[in-house]
Amino acid sequence: MKQGVIPDELTAPFWSAANESKLVIQNCSRCDRLQHPPAQDCGQCKSGENLEWKEMNGTGHIYNYGVVHDCPIRLLQDDQPFNVAVIMLDDDPGIQMYSHLPGTPVDDVPVGAAVEVVFEKSANGQKIPEWKVVN
Amino acid sequence: MATGYAPSSMYRSREGMGIWEHKGKVAAVGVGHSPTERRWDERPETSVGAWSIMALRNAIADAGVEPDHIDGIVIVPETTTGAFWPDDKPLPQDVINAFVQTDDPLDGVAKLSVEWLLKNMPELTNINYSVYAPVCMSNALNVAAQAVGDGLAHTVLVLKAWHNLEGRYYQGGQNAQDAIGGTSAIRSLWGAPACYGTALQFAEYCRKYGKDHDMMTPFIINSRRNGLMFPEGYWAQHRPEELTPEDYQLARWIAKPANLFDNDIPIMCAASYLFTTAERAKDMKQKPVYVLNHVDSDAVPRGLTPTLDEVEAECALTGRKIYEGAGITAADLSFENMYDGFTQFHQFHLEGLGYRGIGFGDALDFYQTDISIEGPNPVSPSGGNIGSGRSRFWMHTDSIQQLQGRAGGRQITGVNAEIGVSGGPMPLGGNYTVWSATPD
């Protein structure tokens, strides 16, 4: 079980959207550039004036993965070993998200495979974006 | 005297800056270490503050200078290995009372300030320049070299110390909580341990170049061997155990493809160096080791974790900056002491340097050749963090000692020690120093 999430000012739109089963990513409208994790300023123009949240289409590909056998987070330790993959979004492959790849056997990860976003509940009910391999 | 962090203008971050304006005019002379310990036993005399004082005094004595000749100090104020003083744990009052304390009761216990050091080292009567460097000794060395070169101080102590408390690495704090803040959650909810990012880069590297984890074996064994000849190091002091190929290849995974021995062991320790002008260094007790250049890598990955492409591009850039500012080429390096704490990015540093002519994808094959201190291509003669525990400073001590001819059992013999490079930590975000036995 993933830890619960207490949204903060910076990330509240991301987590609110997740609770509505939507994936949004911070975007600088001036640079037309997505960034994740969100930040107070655009990583390119360094201004926070033009930051907004943009809905993604919810598809991506598996870029890479590792198998975690010694996890520092207490709530996840009963689930070891587990996959932690890096997903690159189809909207912009420069945007990465982590995933446990629910439904994919441990250490049998199809690198490069297409995935789609799903939302699963964490320990306090906050929904979390996750990713499943598209068959 | 208020102490702040070094300004960005002190770092050499860009390509095209030319030869460092102070090349050969700054030298390291003294080296001082504390003992090592796996974790703090909570006695005053083994605290991070006490061991910092010990390392500083050892460096002063090693250089053979009077304390009142020292006019500058550069330290890293962060001392954690990943262990933080628990909020609900009573303050260690007997330790606090054993020293002259600042307003912060954890000063000298789980962090370090210049103010605390100067209160507890009354012999340092003439410090008029002090500055903080973030995170690592590698960064502090860059700052100290630039400070001496710029004339901000003429004789400077550089210090990095580490505390390690009871309990497992990074298992407390927010990782033990049922819920965490939204910003942290975006990175940490999936439970990746510290080595995960490097393990990913290594996995991609192996796929791209057709390599595998077992090919790391000679590097690991070489590192432990060299570390066991480092009397200041943790494994030499506490667990003088050689590693076998089976030890490495059968070790438990942490984040596959990184196993236990691909990670360094967190320890308590402190080290200090004395930097001065090349002119003053001539009259000191040890042979000067001249700084030819220092380099900063300030690259930031676009995504959550650096891609292999980003790593290789940045390591290549770092290599070019190292050579450009020092006015040397890869062929001039007698040895390399790039960071290794995680093992699986050492090859990126080697390939970025073009060490012994290797390119991207070549290093694991290079590891199958003679990389020992006796051979023509010494790799990590310090043994690094893998050979002596997490300090991120063994490579600097070793580089200085190699060039002074006093590396003891680790002294490289297959090639003359004339120029070396050390630094780290990560391929994206590190600091590097080029050292030389001569000023030009």
The whole-number pLDDT of residue B374 equals: 98
Probe site for chain A from B190, B259, B308, B428 (most A CB atoms < 10 A): B190
Q: Min CA distance, B334 vs chain A (Å)?
A: 36
Among candidates B183, B191, B257 on the partner chain, residue whose Cβ is nearest the Cβ of A8: B183
The whole-number pLDDT of residue B166 equals: 87
Q: Min CA distance, B361 vs chain A (Å)?
A: 18
Across the interface, do B180 and A4 touch by the CB < 8 Å criterion? yes
Whether ipTM tops 0.85, in short, is yes
The whole-number pLDDT of residue B397 equals: 98
Across the interface, do B207 and A95 touch by the CB < 8 Å criterion? no
Nearest to A86 by CA among A62, A117, A109, A59: A62
Nearest CA in chain B to A80: B191
Buried b (16+ CB within 10 A) or exposed e, A15-42: bebbeeebbbbbbbeeeebbbbbbeeeb
Across the interface, do B255 and A69 touch by the CB < 8 Å criterion? yes
Q: Which residues of A touch B178 (CB under 8 A)?
A: 3-4, 75, 123-124
CATH of B25-168+266-277, one of 3.30.230.10, 3.30.450.20, 2.40.40.20, 3.40.47.10: 3.40.47.10
DSSP letter for each residue of A23-53: -EEEEETTTTEEESS--SS-TTT--STTEEE
The whole-number pLDDT of residue B168 equals: 80
Q: Min CA distance, A78 vs chain B (Å)?
A: 12
Residue A125 maps to a domain: yes
Residue A60 maps to a domain: yes
Residue A123 maps to a domain: yes
The whole-number pLDDT of residue B436 equals: 98
Residue A78 maps to a domain: yes
Q: Which residues of B touch A82 (CB under 8 A)?
A: 191
Residue A7 maps to a domain: no
Across the interface, do A66 and B200 touch by the CB < 8 Å criterion? yes
Residue A96 structural domain: 12-133
Across the interface, do B182 and A8 touch by the CB < 8 Å criterion? yes
Residue A5 maps to a domain: no
The whole-number pLDDT of residue B87 equals: 84
Across the interface, do A70 and B178 touch by the CB < 8 Å criterion? no
CA–CA distances in Å: residue B82 to residues A69, B117, B208, B355, B399: 19, 22, 33, 32, 27
Among candidates A8, A64, A94 on the partner chain, residue whose Cβ is nearest the Cβ of B203: A64
B196 touches chain A (CB under 8 A): yes
CA angle, residues B365, B369, B373, in degrees to nearest 5: 130
The whole-number pLDDT of residue B86 equals: 86
Across the interface, do A97 and B304 touch by the CB < 8 Å criterion? yes
Q: Min CA distance, A134 vs chain B (Å)?
A: 21
Q: Which residues of B touch A4 (CB under 8 A)?
A: 178-180
Residue B376 to residue B212: CA distance in whole angstroms: 25
The whole-number pLDDT of residue B333 equals: 98
Across the interface, do A123 and B178 touch by the CB < 8 Å criterion? yes
Residue B391 to residue B158: CA distance in whole angstroms: 14
Among candidates A63, A94, A123 on the partner chain, residue whose Cβ is nearest the Cβ of B179: A123
Nearest CA in chain A to B299: A43
Across the interface, do A11 and B183 touch by the CB < 8 Å criterion? yes
Nearest CA in chain B to A95: B303
Nearest CA in chain A to B304: A96
Residue A6 maps to a domain: no
Can you give the residue ranges of every domain in chain B? Answer: 25-168+266-277
Q: DSSP 3-state assignment of B326?
A: helix
Give the E-state strand segments of chain A in sequence order. 4-6, 24-28, 33-35, 51-55, 59-68, 82-89, 96-99, 114-121, 127-133
A102 touches chain B (CB under 8 A): no
Across the interface, do B190 and A99 touch by the CB < 8 Å criterion? yes
Can you give the pLDDT of all 440 residues of chain B as single tens digits? 789 999 999 999 999 999 999 999 999 999 999 999 999 999 999 999 999 999 999 999 999 999 999 999 999 999 999 888 988 899 999 999 999 999 999 999 999 999 999 999 999 999 999 999 999 999 999 999 999 999 999 999 999 999 999 888 777 788 999 999 999 999 999 999 999 999 999 999 999 999 999 999 999 999 999 999 999 999 999 999 999 999 999 999 999 999 999 999 999 999 999 999 999 999 999 999 999 999 999 999 999 999 999 999 999 999 999 999 999 999 999 999 999 999 999 999 999 999 999 999 999 999 999 999 999 999 999 999 999 999 999 999 999 999 999 999 999 999 999 999 999 999 999 999 999 999 98
Q: Which residues of A touch B254 (CB under 8 A)?
A: 68-70
The whole-number pLDDT of residue A34 equals: 98
The whole-number pLDDT of residue B153 equals: 98
Domain count, chain A: 1
